[in-house]
Structure 1
């Protein structure tokens, strides 16, 4: 999940990479007094995108799919197939996710990324782990660092009986983040439902059984996927 944040700058307080070297992290005030960016965040010109043309990515309407309309489902699956061949991605609309929940999920992002740096670093992701804070993925790379910070967490939701997202937020961020945990618990549950619908459309577009990917990811515990919150500069 992305949240634009125009006041995020870059800094280089102590942050150890797995190789033991110090790496810079995103910070909101340190570099306001600095003349130059850390070199780790400067990308070669050849790696930058210069095309300003609109992508005009395909838009897939899920309304008929969710209502069980087979003709609408077939049309949506064909649009998915075309999108994957031409763009590699697409957007969905009328997906059934409550707009209030989406708004709440965006609002809660700020509560995490506006925490003091030492608090965020206390929850940082360890090498090999999937959950925790990462400043520009500085624990993984030494140069061409992304201009973002992330907070990742696991989601396990076979039946929704265990609020594992809530428990994780409370354990690493404190009791004050119980509400935030509940927002993302419900958000993950909603995203799972949408994902399974999209998996069906992908299966149909490939000419395999429409439940093929539902069964596959159920077998490999789709619910273990990681939800990642990001702020992009």
Structure 2
């Protein structure tokens, strides 16, 4: 069933009644058409009424607190000044490096300021992304991400998903951005693609710089992992996410709980909160306070394996609300090379935790194994006798 329509003038002559549409979507296991499993479309159809059944999360997965709860469970991630890492001031540099290492060993997330990505470019790119998501559905359908594909427009659809995420997304890289933009704006695609391509390039450069800093933090030469990031092996892509107003946010999730399978994720978000990080020792979700002049970086599974488990890929999710939309841009920084922990990091107390693997191998099963708090990395590639019985508490 195709639903070609804009967001204005919705009525019985342009689409079936909402109840009929929702009935057709009742069995999520049979849905593969991302053009109709789309939170933006359904939010327009329902205009604040009941949450469609396909977006209702199982009881155990539902958020227990909203994104804007101001309690001790709001996490204001320390803002590490990256310019200090280029400073001749030894103590300031040492302190910044120690902050980054500690964050990666505990929370798995870092917030950085003075990151070197042009602020005007970020604003321009955000404006273009808003323009994209405001397009009529009939236009966005031209760039659909078909089932099994990685790039294009649609819902974030994972295998074994018990309920759909309340979000729209658009995923591209530097090499295919023009192709997908031309499907949306055939005669004016460069306005979008030029901004996005420049943005990905600058964030990719930030990824290179952060990688070398974190490598140094492991006690290795900063260029040790350069061997995995030759030009033909570096992978960087951008997933733009829009979280519409949700009629029943207590029953929905913008993005299900997961660990990122990549090396690093570099996230820029607007001023609307929504990101939550799970604290293992307290078995509790923490709201991350947004800061628009920063990037939030998180350790992915590939970096956890490359660091032999010293840096941690941590469970996180996105919650939604009923009164304010949210926009985020997540750049996935990765390598196509086969990754293995350096021998310098292996000790009798910390033997090799993961067998070598490549991204091409991992992506075949990533997002299909993990259930709740189970690590897909541990399940798929962990050397079980070498994995710790219980991970260190987050501090």
Query: TM-score, normalising length from structure 2?
Result: 0.48
Kept in 1: contact 2:168–2:241 (CA 8 A): yes
Query: 1:128 and 1:21 mapped to 2: Cα distance?
Result: 9
Stretches of structure 2 lacking an aligned partner (at least 5 in a row)? 1-6, 8-17, 245-395
Which residues of 2 match residues 1-233 of structure 1 at below 5 A? 24-26=37-39, 27=41, 28-32=43-47, 35-50=49-64, 52=69, 53-66=73-86, 72-135=92-155, 137-138=156-157, 140=159, 142-156=161-175, 165-171=177-183, 173-218=185-230, 221-222=233-234, 224-233=235-244
Query: TM-score, normalising length from structure 1?
Result: 0.78
Query: 2:141 and 2:159 mapped to 1: Cα distance?
Result: 15
- Bigger relative CO (Cα 8 Å, ≥ 6 apart): 1
Structure with higher Rg: it is 2
The Cα of 1:165 is off from its aligned counterpart by 3.0
SS at match of 1:29: helix
Kept in 2: contact 1:57–1:87 (CA 8 A): no
Label 1:64 to 1:128 Cα distance change in 2 as closer, same or farther (>3 A). Answer: same
SS at match of 1:36: coil
The Cα of 1:48 is off from its aligned counterpart by 2.8
Query: 1:165 and 1:116 mapped to 2: Cα distance?
Result: 20
Kept in 2: contact 1:150–1:228 (CA 8 A): yes
Label 1:147 to 1:184 Cα distance change in 2 as closer, same or farther (>3 A). Answer: same
Kept in 2: contact 1:152–1:226 (CA 8 A): yes
Kept in 2: contact 1:132–1:151 (CA 8 A): yes
1:61-113 Cα offsets, whole Å, 9 max, x none, are 10122457665443322111110122110110001111111111111111111
Q: CA RMSD in A?
A: 3.0
Kept in 1: contact 2:145–2:154 (CA 8 A): yes
Query: 1:44 and 1:142 mapped to 2: Cα distance?
Result: 10
Kept in 2: contact 1:165–1:185 (CA 8 A): yes
